[in-house]
Amino acid sequence: MTALGTGISAQLDKMDLTDFAGILDNIESLGAETIEIPLYDMDIVVGGRIRPERLKLMKDACLGRDVTYTVHGPLATNFMDQPFRLERHMDVLKASLDASAEIGAVHYVMHTGLIPMQLAEGIEAAYGRQREMLASAGDYARERNIVLCVENLFGGYEGKVHTATPSRLARELGAIDHSHVLATLDFSHAYLHCNFLGIDYLSEIEQLSPYAKHLHMHDSFGRQDDVWMFTDGERTAYGHGDLHLPVGWGNIPWTDVFERCLFPEKSVFNIELKKRYWYKARSVIETSKTYAANVRTLERSAA
């Protein structure tokens, strides 16, 4: 088996975390080999510092289990942000990495940068800031035996927001060239972004896949959420937005994806499922395990 494991992102219920151990029990019972911890929503990092009593609640629930942990950090971390806020982003990232190390997490998922649409000179300067910050963060992560896995996003938003395409993120990671700064390939984010820009989805993710130590598995139709909807059920009916559907419910060409892309050895297949579809969690884990068992890797393909 060339994948490290297949699992799912935990979802919170009680914010005092008194039921978190039970949530993890349930995920283990579904056959998950990995669990992604939603650190971004657990009030463990407060104002850039760890709250020890909150960290203890997470550790008590996590430790002693036969699973591998990954962590999703705060979604707002943005190393393409204005320079005066970069130190604050780094403080939050470092505290989050310290908390992740306490449960032995192997991957830390963070988002790639977003920036308002502007002249190319401003955009390139923002990429330069991000490269510098990610290299420094990679050193900090390496000391804690954690790989930073930078997740591709989708831009658009009426043409007002820029973020890296999968191929651009691949070039940025190649330029950083750090052993502990790799990628999270979110297949639905890429589908939304590529369809919005009118660029080839499979070609784009093929370029990012060699860096993709971490995979976010969920489905969509690649349609921007650009029409007012009242409920998530309506968005599902129209197929609009980042729906986090069970794999197979949307129209991402999964067979073509895994026939075409090459991934690093020991990648993690992590399912991100909306709570409304949690009743499908077991079957989506089983489907994702099938893909993981047959994934094409760089090392295996070169042999």
pLDDT digits (tens, 9 = 90+) for 125-176: 999 999 999 999 999 999 999 999 999 999 866 668 999 999 999 999 999 9
Please name the residue that has the structure tokens 């510098």. Answer: 132
What is the full DSSP assignment across the chain?
--SSEEEEE-----TT-TTHHHHHHHHHHTT-SEEEE-GGGSS-EETTEE-HHHHHHHHHHHTT-SSEEEEE--TT--TTS-HHHHHHHHHHHHHHHHHHHTTT-SEEEEEPPEEE---HHHHHHHHHHHHHHHHHHHHHHHTTT-EEEEEP---BTTTTEEE--HHHHHHHHHHH--TTEEEEEEHHHHHHHHHHHT--HHHHHHHHGGGEEEEEE-B---B---S--SSHHHHHHHTBS---BPTTSS---HHHHHHH--B-TT-EEEE---GGGGGGHHHHHHHHHHHHHT--BHHHHH-
Strands 5-9 and 268-271: parallel
- Phi and psi angles of residue 144, each rounded to the nearest 5 degrees, phi first: -110, 10
Decide: pTM greater than 0.85. Answer: yes
Q: Is the pLDDT of residue 287 over 80?
A: yes
d(CA 98, CA 204): 33
Angle between helices 166-176 and 187-197 (to 10 degrees): 120
| Weakest mean pLDDT among 56-60, 66-70, 191-195, 223-227 | 223-227
Q: Which two tokens stand for residue 234?
A: 């309506």
Written as one letter, the residue type at 281 is: A
CATH superfamily for domain 5-302? Divalent-metal-dependent TIM barrel enzymes (3.20.20.150)
Question: What's the distance, Cα to Cα, between the start and end of the chain in Å?
Answer: 15
Domains in the chain: boundaries:
5-302
pLDDT digits (tens, 9 = 90+) for 20-70: 999 999 999 999 999 999 999 999 999 999 999 999 999 999 999 999 999
d(CA 145, CA 17): 26
Higher pLDDT, 97 or 298: 97
